[in-house]
Structures are given as C-alpha cells and as structure tokens.
Amino acid sequence: MKKLFVWTGRIFLGLFLFSILAVMAAGVLPVCVTPLVGIRAVEQLLDKERAFRLEKDWVPMEKISPFLYRAVIASEDQKFLEHHGFDWEAIHAALEENRSGKRLRGGSTITNQTAKNVFLWPGRNLLRKGLEAYFTVLIEFFWSKERILEVYLNVIEMGEGIYGAEAAARVYFGKAAIDLNRQEAALIAAVLPNPLRWRPDQPSSYLRQRQAWILRNMRNLGKLTLNGER
C-alpha cells in the first residue's frame, strides 16, 4: 500500500510538472495541433460522405485585425481584461438561469475556452470541467492577456475543418485576417457559439441580429489596452 501511494504521488507530480511545461511552451510557441482538431479530423475520415478539410494557419497578433479581437471580446467575454480567468457574475447568472428552467447557458470566459481548445477534449462532464478550471488558472498565471487572445483566435473552431482567424477570413471573405473590417469581424464573432451550423458569409436574419448586437457592444467597450487597438 505504501508503494502504491508513493507511485501515485509520483504520477500526479509528473502530470503536474508536465502540465506546467505544456502551458509554458504553448505560451511562446505557435499552437499548431489541438485535441479538437484531431477529433474533428478523425470524424471526417470516418464519414465517407464528407470530404476531408483542414484549414488552419497560425498568424501572430499583429496580423489579426483589431476589429476581430474587439468583436470577440464584445461577443464572448466583455470583462476579459478585468477578470483572472473566471467571470463569477456570469457564472452566477448562468446557474440561476439554468436553475429556473430557462435554456441552458454557460458562463465561460475566453480563457476558459482557450484552455478547453488547446489542452482538452469537447464535453461537459465534471472531470473535463475541473481540468478546464485548472488549466485556466495556469494560463492566466503564465500568459499575458494578449497571448491568451492570440492563441484563442488561432485555434478556435470557425466552421467545419476551419480553425483560426486567418483561415476563416480567407475562406469566408477571401482576405487575410488583418484586412477584416468591422462588419466582417462581427459576423465571424457571431457564429462562434455554433460554427458548425452558421456561416458568416451566408448570414441568416438571426446572425444579422447578433452582428448588430456585437457591433453595439464593440462601440461600448471603449479603448482596449492591447497593441494595435484602433
């Protein structure tokens, strides 16, 4: 039993050290492969009726339109620059709404979503959520806010086989991510809750409403303390 405890402790210590090294490495190196990319690729290969597609190009923050990261903050996490990974007010509001029987919603921040996309697998079980919280703490400790946003905008799923701002901009609007205008950026941000269902280049009336809401929020954000803000 003593040996079991010793080996268990060593395993957990090894996993702890590995997780820290992984987060530190992802904080300085381009994140080219994520668990979600692998899972989606396997799903496509197993589905003989779908053509395989993988569009993913890493670009640094200075090559992403400030309109896009402004739109994402306005849409997904308006307190991104203020919190330390968890928006407790949003979490409380989500719990109250879910408890009252209204439609289920989450209180995820951009940091939460980055942790999930870079290090974990899709799902809502307690283990996955616990690991997401753990990696959120590590990311907020080791990365700057700008780095979090840079990684998020490069790994987020933006359509079937489409990942990141550069790929989305080229597929949907035929231009580089740096050249996206305010309206296009808001449309891309509008599809993020369900990128496998919606397309920013074929917006429904609902997406147009979301775009208008995001554009209003972008104006209300004020100045963001990120390089390249305009």
Q: What is the pLDDT of residue 150?
A: 97
In sequence order, what DSSP letters do the residues of 176-197 get, joined into one string?
-GGG--HHHHHHHHHHTTSTTT
Q: Would you state the pLDDT for residue 88?
A: 83
Domain-located, residue 216: yes
- Residue 226: inside a domain: no
230 inside domain: no
Please tell me the predicted confidence (pLDDT) of residue 228: 44
In a domain, 65, yes or no: yes
Residue indicated by tokens 């509008």: 190
The answer to whether residue 225 is domain-embedded is: no
Residue type, 209: Q
Q: What is the CATH number of the domain that holds 13?
A: 1.10.3810.10
- Taking alpha carbons only, the member of 2, 11, 40 closest to residue 158 is 40
pLDDT at residue 227 in the model: 53
Q: How many domains is the chain partitioned into structurally?
A: 1
Q: What does the buried/exposed string (b/e) look like for 97-109 if buried means 16 or more CB atoms within 10 Å of the residue's CB?
A: eeeeeeeeeebbb
Domain boundaries, position 112? 2-220
| Cα–Cα distance measured from residue 207 to residue 228, given in angstroms and rounded to the nearest whole number | 27
Determine, yes or no, domain membership for 229: no
In a domain, 130, yes or no: yes
Q: Give a yes or no: residue 115 inside a domain.
A: yes
Angstrom distance (rounded) from CA 156 to CA 167: 11
Does the predicted model carry a pTM greater than 0.75? Answer: yes
* Residues contacting residue 105 through CB under 8 Å, at least 6 positions apart: 94, 97, 98
Cα dihedral 63, 67, 72, 75, rounded to 10, equals -170
| Residues of the chain under the 50 pLDDT cut | 104, 228-230
